[in-house]
A and B are shown apart, each in its own frame.
Chain A
Protein backbone atom coordinates (compact mmCIF):
# COMPACT_ATOMS: atom_id res chain seq x y z
CA UNK A 1 0.00 0.00 0.00
CA UNK A 2 2.83 2.37 0.95
CA UNK A 3 4.81 1.47 -2.17
CA UNK A 4 1.72 2.00 -4.35
CA UNK A 5 1.28 5.46 -2.85
CA UNK A 6 4.97 6.20 -3.40
CA UNK A 7 4.73 5.16 -7.06
CA UNK A 8 1.64 7.33 -7.44
CA UNK A 9 3.44 10.31 -5.87
CA UNK A 10 6.53 9.75 -8.03
CA UNK A 11 4.32 9.59 -11.13
CA UNK A 12 2.68 12.89 -10.20
CA UNK A 13 6.14 14.39 -9.64
CA UNK A 14 7.29 13.27 -13.11
CA UNK A 15 4.15 14.71 -14.74
CA UNK A 16 4.74 18.03 -12.96
CA UNK A 17 8.39 18.05 -14.10
CA UNK A 18 7.25 17.32 -17.67
CA UNK A 19 5.01 20.42 -17.50
CA UNK A 20 7.78 22.42 -15.83
CA UNK A 21 10.50 21.85 -18.40
CA UNK A 22 8.67 23.37 -21.34
CA UNK A 23 9.62 26.40 -23.41
CA UNK A 24 8.58 29.50 -21.45
CA UNK A 25 5.62 31.45 -22.92
CA UNK A 26 7.62 34.65 -22.51
CA UNK A 27 11.42 34.60 -22.22
CA UNK A 28 11.39 38.14 -20.86
CA UNK A 29 9.07 37.09 -17.99
CA UNK A 30 11.12 33.94 -17.40
CA UNK A 31 14.32 35.97 -17.08
CA UNK A 32 12.62 38.41 -14.71
CA UNK A 33 11.39 35.55 -12.52
CA UNK A 34 14.83 33.93 -12.70
CA UNK A 35 16.56 37.08 -11.42
CA UNK A 36 13.96 37.44 -8.67
CA UNK A 37 14.55 33.85 -7.56
CA UNK A 38 18.35 34.27 -7.69
CA UNK A 39 17.94 37.08 -5.19
CA UNK A 40 15.28 35.39 -3.05
CA UNK A 41 16.78 31.90 -2.94
CA UNK A 42 20.48 32.60 -3.47
CA UNK A 43 21.57 36.08 -2.44
CA UNK A 44 19.34 36.18 0.64
CA UNK A 45 20.88 32.88 1.80
CA UNK A 46 24.46 34.20 1.78
CA UNK A 47 24.43 35.63 5.35
CA UNK A 48 23.12 32.42 6.95
CA UNK A 49 25.58 30.29 4.91
CA UNK A 50 28.53 32.49 5.96
CA UNK A 51 27.46 32.58 9.59
CA UNK A 52 26.88 28.83 9.98
CA UNK A 53 30.00 27.88 8.01
CA UNK A 54 32.26 30.23 9.97
CA UNK A 55 31.17 28.85 13.33
CA UNK A 56 31.10 25.20 12.23
CA UNK A 57 34.60 25.63 10.75
CA UNK A 58 35.78 27.00 14.07
CA UNK A 59 34.12 24.20 16.06
CA UNK A 60 35.49 21.46 13.77
CA UNK A 61 38.97 22.91 14.27
CA UNK A 62 38.56 22.86 18.07
CA UNK A 63 37.21 19.28 18.01
CA UNK A 64 40.07 18.11 15.84
CA UNK A 65 42.60 19.75 18.13
CA UNK A 66 41.06 18.17 21.23
CA UNK A 67 40.39 14.71 19.82
CA UNK A 68 43.01 13.76 17.27
CA UNK A 69 46.11 15.73 18.17
CA UNK A 70 48.75 13.69 19.98
CA UNK A 71 52.50 13.31 20.12
CA UNK A 72 52.28 10.67 17.38
CA UNK A 73 50.40 12.89 14.94
CA UNK A 74 51.95 15.67 12.86
CA UNK A 75 50.78 19.09 14.07
CA UNK A 76 49.28 20.00 10.70
CA UNK A 77 46.76 17.11 10.92
CA UNK A 78 44.19 19.38 12.59
CA UNK A 79 44.17 21.83 9.67
CA UNK A 80 44.22 19.01 7.12
CA UNK A 81 41.27 17.12 8.68
CA UNK A 82 39.30 20.34 9.15
CA UNK A 83 39.72 21.27 5.49
CA UNK A 84 38.74 17.82 4.22
CA UNK A 85 35.60 17.70 6.36
CA UNK A 86 34.56 21.18 5.27
CA UNK A 87 35.20 20.67 1.57
CA UNK A 88 34.01 17.10 1.18
CA UNK A 89 30.86 17.00 3.27
CA UNK A 90 29.97 20.09 5.25
CA UNK A 91 29.89 22.75 2.49
CA UNK A 92 27.90 20.58 0.13
CA UNK A 93 25.75 18.06 2.02
CA UNK A 94 25.29 19.68 5.41
CA UNK A 95 24.84 23.14 3.92
CA UNK A 96 22.24 21.81 1.46
CA UNK A 97 20.43 20.08 4.35
CA UNK A 98 20.30 23.45 6.10
CA UNK A 99 19.20 25.17 2.87
CA UNK A 100 16.46 22.56 2.37
CA UNK A 101 14.96 23.95 5.59
CA UNK A 102 15.32 27.61 4.67
CA UNK A 103 14.84 27.57 0.88
CA UNK A 104 12.67 24.44 0.63
CA UNK A 105 10.06 25.61 3.11
CA UNK A 106 10.10 29.06 1.49
CA UNK A 107 9.36 27.54 -1.95
CA UNK A 108 6.64 25.20 -0.65
CA UNK A 109 4.84 27.86 1.36
CA UNK A 110 5.02 30.41 -1.46
CA UNK A 111 3.63 28.07 -4.13
CA UNK A 112 1.20 26.45 -1.67
CA UNK A 113 -0.24 29.81 -0.69
CA UNK A 114 -0.62 30.69 -4.37
CA UNK A 115 -2.50 27.43 -4.84
CA UNK A 116 -4.95 27.89 -1.95
CA UNK A 117 -5.63 31.55 -2.84
CA UNK A 118 -6.44 30.56 -6.45
CA UNK A 119 -3.50 32.51 -7.92
CA UNK A 120 -2.39 29.36 -9.77
CA UNK A 121 -5.96 28.82 -11.06
CA UNK A 122 -5.91 32.43 -12.29
CA UNK A 123 -2.75 31.69 -14.29
CA UNK A 124 -4.22 28.50 -15.73
CA UNK A 125 -7.41 30.31 -16.80
CA UNK A 126 -5.26 32.88 -18.62
CA UNK A 127 -3.63 30.00 -20.52
CA UNK A 128 -0.30 30.30 -18.68
CA UNK A 129 1.61 27.08 -17.95
CA UNK A 130 1.77 27.79 -14.21
CA UNK A 131 4.24 24.98 -13.47
CA UNK A 132 6.64 26.32 -16.07
CA UNK A 133 6.23 29.94 -14.96
CA UNK A 134 6.59 29.28 -11.22
CA UNK A 135 8.83 26.23 -10.88
CA UNK A 136 11.30 26.38 -13.78
CA UNK A 137 12.87 29.72 -12.69
CA UNK A 138 13.22 28.43 -9.11
CA UNK A 139 15.04 25.28 -10.23
CA UNK A 140 17.27 27.22 -12.64
CA UNK A 141 18.01 29.90 -10.02
CA UNK A 142 18.91 27.48 -7.23
CA UNK A 143 21.11 25.37 -9.52
CA UNK A 144 22.87 28.58 -10.58
CA UNK A 145 23.25 29.98 -7.08
CA UNK A 146 24.25 26.87 -5.18
CA UNK A 147 27.89 26.52 -6.42
CA UNK A 148 28.53 30.09 -5.26
CA UNK A 149 26.99 29.32 -1.87
CA UNK A 150 29.11 26.17 -1.56
CA UNK A 151 32.30 28.10 -2.34
CA UNK A 152 31.30 30.84 0.13
CA UNK A 153 30.67 28.12 2.71
CA UNK A 154 34.12 26.58 2.17
CA UNK A 155 35.77 29.98 2.46
CA UNK A 156 33.85 30.95 5.58
CA UNK A 157 34.48 27.54 7.21
CA UNK A 158 38.22 27.74 6.63
CA UNK A 159 38.22 31.36 7.82
CA UNK A 160 36.44 30.23 11.01
CA UNK A 161 39.03 27.47 11.59
CA UNK A 162 41.88 29.89 10.97
CA UNK A 163 40.35 32.52 13.25
CA UNK A 164 40.29 30.01 16.11
CA UNK A 165 43.96 29.23 15.58
CA UNK A 166 44.85 32.89 15.30
CA UNK A 167 42.86 34.39 18.16
CA UNK A 168 42.56 31.69 20.81
CA UNK A 169 46.12 30.38 20.70
CA UNK A 170 45.02 26.72 20.86
CA UNK A 171 47.46 26.05 18.05
CA UNK A 172 50.13 27.78 16.04
CA UNK A 173 48.63 29.45 12.94
CA UNK A 174 51.58 28.31 10.82
CA UNK A 175 50.75 24.62 11.58
CA UNK A 176 47.14 25.24 10.73
CA UNK A 177 48.12 26.93 7.47
CA UNK A 178 50.35 23.98 6.58
CA UNK A 179 47.50 21.58 7.31
CA UNK A 180 44.97 23.59 5.33
CA UNK A 181 47.30 23.55 2.30
CA UNK A 182 48.60 19.98 2.68
CA UNK A 183 47.89 17.62 -0.26
CA UNK A 184 45.11 19.85 -1.56
CA UNK A 185 43.09 18.21 -4.32
CA UNK A 186 41.09 20.49 -6.59
CA UNK A 187 38.85 17.55 -7.55
CA UNK A 188 37.39 17.50 -4.03
CA UNK A 189 36.08 21.02 -4.57
CA UNK A 190 34.56 19.95 -7.89
CA UNK A 191 33.01 16.89 -6.19
CA UNK A 192 31.38 19.18 -3.68
CA UNK A 193 30.05 21.50 -6.37
CA UNK A 194 28.75 18.60 -8.49
CA UNK A 195 26.96 17.11 -5.49
CA UNK A 196 25.43 20.47 -4.63
CA UNK A 197 23.96 20.79 -8.14
CA UNK A 198 22.03 17.55 -7.61
CA UNK A 199 20.96 18.69 -4.14
CA UNK A 200 19.79 22.03 -5.56
CA UNK A 201 17.59 20.20 -8.05
CA UNK A 202 16.17 18.01 -5.28
CA UNK A 203 15.42 20.98 -3.01
CA UNK A 204 13.79 23.17 -5.66
CA UNK A 205 11.81 20.50 -7.51
CA UNK A 206 10.59 18.51 -4.49
CA UNK A 207 9.65 21.64 -2.53
CA UNK A 208 7.79 22.99 -5.58
CA UNK A 209 5.98 19.66 -6.00
CA UNK A 210 4.70 19.75 -2.42
CA UNK A 211 3.59 23.38 -2.76
CA UNK A 212 1.93 22.90 -6.13
CA UNK A 213 -0.19 19.98 -4.91
CA UNK A 214 -1.50 21.56 -1.71
CA UNK A 215 -5.25 21.20 -1.22
CA UNK A 216 -7.08 23.03 1.55
CA UNK A 217 -5.96 26.02 3.58
CA UNK A 218 -3.19 27.40 5.74
CA UNK A 219 -2.87 24.25 7.87
CA UNK A 220 -2.27 22.14 4.75
CA UNK A 221 0.30 24.68 3.53
CA UNK A 222 2.17 24.35 6.85
CA UNK A 223 1.98 20.55 6.68
CA UNK A 224 3.23 20.57 3.08
CA UNK A 225 6.20 22.73 4.13
CA UNK A 226 7.14 20.25 6.85
CA UNK A 227 6.70 17.25 4.52
CA UNK A 228 8.77 18.96 1.88
CA UNK A 229 11.70 19.62 4.25
CA UNK A 230 11.61 16.02 5.51
CA UNK A 231 11.48 14.58 1.97
CA UNK A 232 14.24 16.89 0.71
CA UNK A 233 16.48 15.93 3.65
CA UNK A 234 15.98 12.19 3.15
CA UNK A 235 16.53 12.45 -0.62
CA UNK A 236 19.67 14.55 -0.15
CA UNK A 237 21.12 11.96 2.24
CA UNK A 238 20.38 9.10 -0.18
CA UNK A 239 21.77 11.08 -3.11
CA UNK A 240 24.87 11.88 -1.06
CA UNK A 241 25.67 8.19 -0.60
CA UNK A 242 25.28 7.44 -4.30
CA UNK A 243 27.14 10.55 -5.51
CA UNK A 244 29.99 10.09 -3.04
CA UNK A 245 30.42 6.50 -4.24
CA UNK A 246 30.41 7.60 -7.87
CA UNK A 247 32.62 10.65 -7.54
CA UNK A 248 35.23 9.52 -5.03
CA UNK A 249 36.14 6.16 -6.57
Chain B
Protein backbone atom coordinates (compact mmCIF):
# COMPACT_ATOMS: atom_id res chain seq x y z
CA UNK B 1 0.00 0.00 0.00
CA UNK B 2 1.19 3.51 -0.78
CA UNK B 3 -0.21 6.44 1.13
CA UNK B 4 0.44 10.08 0.29
CA UNK B 5 -0.34 12.75 2.87
CA UNK B 6 -0.73 16.47 2.16
CA UNK B 7 1.67 16.53 -0.80
CA UNK B 8 2.43 20.02 -2.15
CA UNK B 9 4.88 21.00 -4.85
CA UNK B 10 5.72 24.37 -6.36
CA UNK B 11 7.92 25.30 -9.29
CA UNK B 12 8.83 28.95 -8.75
CA UNK B 13 5.58 30.83 -8.30
CA UNK B 14 3.44 28.08 -9.77
CA UNK B 15 1.74 25.60 -7.45
CA UNK B 16 1.67 22.26 -9.26
CA UNK B 17 0.37 20.10 -6.41
CA UNK B 18 -1.70 21.50 -3.56
CA UNK B 19 -2.26 19.39 -0.43
CA UNK B 20 -2.97 16.08 -2.18
CA UNK B 21 -3.72 13.07 0.05
CA UNK B 22 -4.87 9.61 -0.96
CA UNK B 23 -4.24 5.89 -0.50
CA UNK B 24 -3.24 3.43 -3.23
CA UNK B 25 -4.12 -0.11 -2.16
CA UNK B 26 -2.52 -3.46 -2.93
CA UNK B 27 -3.96 -5.66 -5.65
CA UNK B 28 -5.85 -2.75 -7.21
CA UNK B 29 -5.28 -0.69 -10.32
CA UNK B 30 -5.05 2.83 -8.91
CA UNK B 31 -5.56 5.42 -11.62
CA UNK B 32 -4.51 9.07 -11.48
CA UNK B 33 -6.49 10.99 -14.08
CA UNK B 34 -6.78 14.61 -15.13
CA UNK B 35 -6.21 17.03 -17.96
CA UNK B 36 -2.71 17.69 -19.27
CA UNK B 37 -0.99 20.03 -16.79
CA UNK B 38 -3.17 18.88 -13.90
CA UNK B 39 -0.11 17.63 -11.98
CA UNK B 40 -0.36 13.86 -12.68
CA UNK B 41 3.24 13.38 -13.81
CA UNK B 42 4.63 15.56 -11.01
CA UNK B 43 2.60 13.54 -8.48
CA UNK B 44 3.90 10.26 -9.93
CA UNK B 45 7.49 11.58 -9.85
CA UNK B 46 7.00 12.63 -6.20
CA UNK B 47 5.70 9.16 -5.39
CA UNK B 48 8.60 7.30 -7.03
CA UNK B 49 11.14 9.70 -5.53
CA UNK B 50 12.33 11.40 -8.72
CA UNK B 51 11.07 14.72 -7.30
CA UNK B 52 10.98 15.79 -3.66
CA UNK B 53 7.68 17.40 -2.61
CA UNK B 54 7.88 20.70 -0.72
CA UNK B 55 5.46 19.40 1.92
CA UNK B 56 3.86 16.11 2.83
CA UNK B 57 4.72 12.44 3.21
CA UNK B 58 4.93 9.47 0.84
CA UNK B 59 4.52 6.21 2.77
CA UNK B 60 5.38 2.83 1.24
CA UNK B 61 3.73 0.33 3.59
CA UNK B 62 4.27 2.86 6.38
CA UNK B 63 7.86 3.74 5.38
CA UNK B 64 8.33 7.42 4.54
CA UNK B 65 10.46 7.58 1.38
CA UNK B 66 11.32 11.23 2.05
CA UNK B 67 13.20 10.25 5.23
CA UNK B 68 15.15 7.47 3.51
CA UNK B 69 18.89 7.74 3.11
CA UNK B 70 20.49 7.03 -0.28
CA UNK B 71 20.99 3.31 0.41
CA UNK B 72 17.43 2.79 1.70
CA UNK B 73 16.08 4.59 -1.34
CA UNK B 74 18.11 2.36 -3.65
CA UNK B 75 16.80 -0.74 -1.87
CA UNK B 76 13.22 0.53 -2.20
CA UNK B 77 13.72 1.13 -5.91
CA UNK B 78 14.49 -2.54 -6.33
CA UNK B 79 10.94 -3.21 -5.11
CA UNK B 80 9.55 -0.96 -7.86
CA UNK B 81 8.78 -1.56 -11.50
CA UNK B 82 7.98 1.21 -13.92
CA UNK B 83 6.42 1.31 -17.33
CA UNK B 84 7.32 4.50 -19.19
CA UNK B 85 5.20 6.34 -21.73
CA UNK B 86 7.49 5.27 -24.61
CA UNK B 87 8.41 1.89 -23.04
CA UNK B 88 12.08 3.02 -22.64
CA UNK B 89 13.50 -0.37 -23.63
CA UNK B 90 17.30 -0.39 -23.90
CA UNK B 91 17.85 -0.28 -27.65
CA UNK B 92 21.32 -1.83 -27.50
CA UNK B 93 19.82 -5.04 -26.07
CA UNK B 94 17.42 -7.69 -27.34
CA UNK B 95 14.00 -8.14 -25.72
CA UNK B 96 15.30 -11.03 -23.60
CA UNK B 97 18.37 -9.04 -22.52
CA UNK B 98 16.09 -6.16 -21.53
CA UNK B 99 14.07 -8.44 -19.25
CA UNK B 100 17.27 -10.07 -17.96
CA UNK B 101 18.79 -6.65 -17.16
CA UNK B 102 17.32 -6.05 -13.66
CA UNK B 103 17.88 -9.72 -12.82
CA UNK B 104 21.52 -9.57 -13.92
CA UNK B 105 22.07 -6.39 -11.93
CA UNK B 106 20.45 -7.37 -8.64
CA UNK B 107 19.34 -10.97 -8.46
CA UNK B 108 21.40 -13.50 -6.51
CA UNK B 109 19.94 -16.37 -8.55
CA UNK B 110 22.03 -18.53 -10.90
CA UNK B 111 22.16 -17.62 -14.58
CA UNK B 112 19.82 -20.52 -15.47
CA UNK B 113 17.28 -19.38 -12.88
CA UNK B 114 17.45 -15.78 -14.14
CA UNK B 115 16.94 -16.96 -17.69
CA UNK B 116 13.98 -19.06 -16.59
CA UNK B 117 12.46 -16.07 -14.75
CA UNK B 118 12.98 -13.76 -17.76
CA UNK B 119 11.35 -16.29 -20.10
CA UNK B 120 8.47 -16.73 -17.64
CA UNK B 121 7.89 -12.95 -17.62
CA UNK B 122 7.98 -12.84 -21.43
CA UNK B 123 5.58 -15.79 -21.59
CA UNK B 124 3.30 -13.96 -19.14
CA UNK B 125 3.00 -11.02 -21.53
CA UNK B 126 2.86 -13.33 -24.56
CA UNK B 127 6.20 -12.13 -25.96
CA UNK B 128 8.34 -15.25 -25.80
CA UNK B 129 8.42 -15.57 -29.59
CA UNK B 130 9.98 -12.09 -29.85
CA UNK B 131 12.70 -12.65 -27.23
CA UNK B 132 15.58 -12.34 -29.71
CA UNK B 133 14.25 -9.26 -31.48
CA UNK B 134 15.61 -5.79 -30.82
CA UNK B 135 13.22 -3.08 -29.58
CA UNK B 136 13.08 -1.23 -32.92
CA UNK B 137 11.71 -4.36 -34.58
CA UNK B 138 8.66 -4.32 -32.28
CA UNK B 139 5.34 -2.52 -32.65
CA UNK B 140 4.31 0.03 -29.98
CA UNK B 141 2.09 -2.50 -28.21
CA UNK B 142 4.79 -5.17 -28.21
CA UNK B 143 7.30 -2.69 -26.80
CA UNK B 144 4.90 -1.91 -23.96
CA UNK B 145 4.41 -5.62 -23.26
CA UNK B 146 8.17 -6.19 -23.24
CA UNK B 147 8.53 -3.22 -20.87
CA UNK B 148 5.89 -4.73 -18.57
CA UNK B 149 7.84 -8.02 -18.59
CA UNK B 150 11.00 -6.09 -17.61
CA UNK B 151 9.11 -4.18 -14.91
CA UNK B 152 7.84 -7.37 -13.24
CA UNK B 153 11.09 -9.36 -13.58
CA UNK B 154 12.22 -8.66 -10.01
CA UNK B 155 8.71 -9.40 -8.66
CA UNK B 156 8.05 -5.79 -7.60
CA UNK B 157 5.70 -4.81 -4.80
CA UNK B 158 4.93 -1.53 -6.54
CA UNK B 159 4.26 -0.95 -10.23
CA UNK B 160 4.06 2.51 -11.80
CA UNK B 161 2.76 3.13 -15.30
CA UNK B 162 3.06 6.54 -16.96
CA UNK B 163 0.52 6.90 -19.78
CA UNK B 164 0.75 3.20 -20.73
CA UNK B 165 -1.65 3.59 -23.66
CA UNK B 166 -0.05 6.64 -25.18
CA UNK B 167 0.34 6.19 -28.95
CA UNK B 168 -1.54 2.87 -29.06
CA UNK B 169 -4.74 2.02 -30.93
CA UNK B 170 -7.87 1.35 -28.78
CA UNK B 171 -7.69 -2.43 -29.20
CA UNK B 172 -4.01 -2.67 -28.19
CA UNK B 173 -4.72 -0.26 -25.32
CA UNK B 174 -7.31 -2.70 -23.97
CA UNK B 175 -4.79 -5.56 -24.14
CA UNK B 176 -2.21 -3.49 -22.20
CA UNK B 177 -4.84 -2.43 -19.63
CA UNK B 178 -5.97 -6.00 -19.09
CA UNK B 179 -2.39 -7.15 -18.77
CA UNK B 180 -1.59 -4.50 -16.14
CA UNK B 181 -4.79 -5.29 -14.24
CA UNK B 182 -4.32 -9.05 -14.29
CA UNK B 183 -0.68 -8.79 -13.15
CA UNK B 184 -1.76 -6.41 -10.37
CA UNK B 185 -4.39 -8.76 -8.98
CA UNK B 186 -2.41 -11.96 -9.59
CA UNK B 187 0.71 -10.78 -7.70
CA UNK B 188 -1.08 -8.42 -5.30
CA UNK B 189 0.99 -5.44 -6.52
CA UNK B 190 0.26 -1.82 -5.65
CA UNK B 191 -0.17 -0.39 -9.13
CA UNK B 192 -0.46 3.30 -9.94
CA UNK B 193 -1.40 4.22 -13.50
CA UNK B 194 -1.13 7.77 -14.75
CA UNK B 195 -3.61 8.14 -17.63
CA UNK B 196 -6.21 10.22 -19.40
CA UNK B 197 -7.52 7.32 -21.44
CA UNK B 198 -11.25 6.91 -20.69
CA UNK B 199 -11.19 3.26 -21.79
CA UNK B 200 -8.64 2.57 -19.04
CA UNK B 201 -10.75 4.51 -16.54
CA UNK B 202 -13.86 2.46 -17.27
CA UNK B 203 -11.98 -0.81 -17.74
CA UNK B 204 -9.54 -1.12 -14.85
CA UNK B 205 -10.29 1.82 -12.52
CA UNK B 206 -10.46 0.02 -9.16
CA UNK B 207 -9.51 3.29 -7.50
CA UNK B 208 -9.51 6.61 -9.33
CA UNK B 209 -7.94 9.88 -8.21
CA UNK B 210 -8.95 12.92 -10.25
CA UNK B 211 -6.61 15.90 -10.22
CA UNK B 212 -7.45 19.37 -11.52
CA UNK B 213 -5.15 22.38 -11.19
CA UNK B 214 -2.92 20.44 -8.79
CA UNK B 215 -5.77 19.73 -6.35
CA UNK B 216 -7.44 16.43 -5.60
CA UNK B 217 -10.98 17.05 -6.85
CA UNK B 218 -12.55 13.64 -6.66
CA UNK B 219 -11.85 10.02 -5.63
CA UNK B 220 -13.85 6.92 -6.42
CA UNK B 221 -13.90 3.98 -8.79
CA UNK B 222 -15.14 3.00 -12.25
CA UNK B 223 -18.57 2.04 -10.85
CA UNK B 224 -19.42 5.44 -9.40
CA UNK B 225 -17.42 7.83 -11.59
CA UNK B 226 -20.31 8.44 -14.01
CA UNK B 227 -22.65 9.34 -11.15
CA UNK B 228 -20.40 12.06 -9.80
CA UNK B 229 -21.72 15.61 -9.45
CA UNK B 230 -18.26 17.15 -9.59
CA UNK B 231 -18.46 19.60 -12.47
CA UNK B 232 -14.71 19.56 -13.18
CA UNK B 233 -14.75 15.76 -13.35
CA UNK B 234 -17.81 15.80 -15.60
CA UNK B 235 -16.18 18.34 -17.89
CA UNK B 236 -13.16 16.04 -18.13
CA UNK B 237 -15.18 12.85 -18.64
CA UNK B 238 -17.63 14.27 -21.15
CA UNK B 239 -15.28 16.55 -22.99
CA UNK B 240 -16.20 15.12 -26.40
CA UNK B 241 -19.53 15.88 -28.12
CA UNK B 242 -20.25 12.21 -28.55
CA UNK B 243 -19.96 11.38 -24.85
CA UNK B 244 -21.95 14.49 -23.89
CA UNK B 245 -24.81 13.41 -26.15
CA UNK B 246 -24.67 9.85 -24.82
CA UNK B 247 -24.94 11.22 -21.30
CA UNK B 248 -27.86 13.51 -22.18
CA UNK B 249 -29.72 10.57 -23.73
CA UNK B 250 -28.93 8.42 -20.68
CA UNK B 251 -30.39 11.12 -18.42
CA UNK B 252 -33.58 11.18 -20.47
In this assembly, does A181 line the interface, its C-beta being within 8 Å of a C-beta of chain B?
A: no
Assembled-state Cα–Cα distance A25/B89 (Å): 20
The 8 Å CB contact of B88, one of A25, A122, A128, is A122
Asked if A127 and B86 make an inter-chain contact with CB atoms under 8 angstroms apart, the answer reads no
In this assembly, does A121 line the interface, its C-beta being within 8 Å of a C-beta of chain B?
A: yes
The 8 Å CB contact of A25, one of B85, B90, B106, is B106
Q: Mark A114-127, 1 if CB is under 8 A from B, else 0.
A: 10011101101111
Kindly provide the distance from the CB of A122 to the nearest chain B CB, expressed in whole angstroms.
4
Query: With contacts A28-B104, A118-B84 known, is A125 near B91, CB below 8 A?
Result: no
In this assembly, does B105 line the interface, its C-beta being within 8 Å of a C-beta of chain A?
A: yes
Assembled-state Cα–Cα distance A113/B102 (Å): 21
In this assembly, does B77 line the interface, its C-beta being within 8 Å of a C-beta of chain A?
A: yes
Q: Mark A89-117, 1 if CB is under 8 A from B, else 0.
A: 00000000000000000000010011001
Closest to A122 in B: B88
In this assembly, does B50 line the interface, its C-beta being within 8 Å of a C-beta of chain A?
A: yes
Main secondary structure of the interface of B (DSSP, over half): mixed
Assembled-state Cα–Cα distance A214/B89 (Å): 18
Assembled-state Cα–Cα distance A25/B102 (Å): 11
In this assembly, does A168 line the interface, its C-beta being within 8 Å of a C-beta of chain B?
A: no
Kindly provide the distance from the CB of A200 to the nearest chain B CB, expressed in whole angstroms.
21
Q: Mark B119-146, 1 if CB is under 8 A from A, else 0.
A: 0000000000000000000000000000
Q: Which of B48-90 contact A (CB under 8 A)?
A: 48, 50, 74-78, 80, 82, 84-86, 88-90
Asked if A121 and B50 make an inter-chain contact with CB atoms under 8 angstroms apart, the answer reads yes
Assembled-state Cα–Cα distance A119/B89 (Å): 6
- Contact partners of B74 in chain A: CB under 8 A: 127
Asked if A125 and B90 make an inter-chain contact with CB atoms under 8 angstroms apart, the answer reads no
Asked if B102 and A126 make an inter-chain contact with CB atoms under 8 angstroms apart, the answer reads yes
- Contact partners of B154 in chain A: CB under 8 A: 126
Beyond known contacts A121-B50, A122-B84, A125-B82: 6 more, CB 8 A cutoff: A124-B77, A125-B77, A125-B80, A126-B77, A126-B105, A128-B102
Q: List 20 A-B contacts (CB under 8 A).
A: A25-B106, A26-B104, A26-B105, A26-B106, A29-B104, A36-B92, A119-B89, A121-B50, A122-B88, A122-B90, A125-B77, A125-B160, A126-B77, A126-B80, A126-B82, A126-B101, A126-B105, A127-B74, A127-B78, A127-B80
Q: Which residues of A contact B (CB under 8 A)?
A: 25-26, 28-29, 36, 110, 113-114, 117-119, 121-122, 124-128
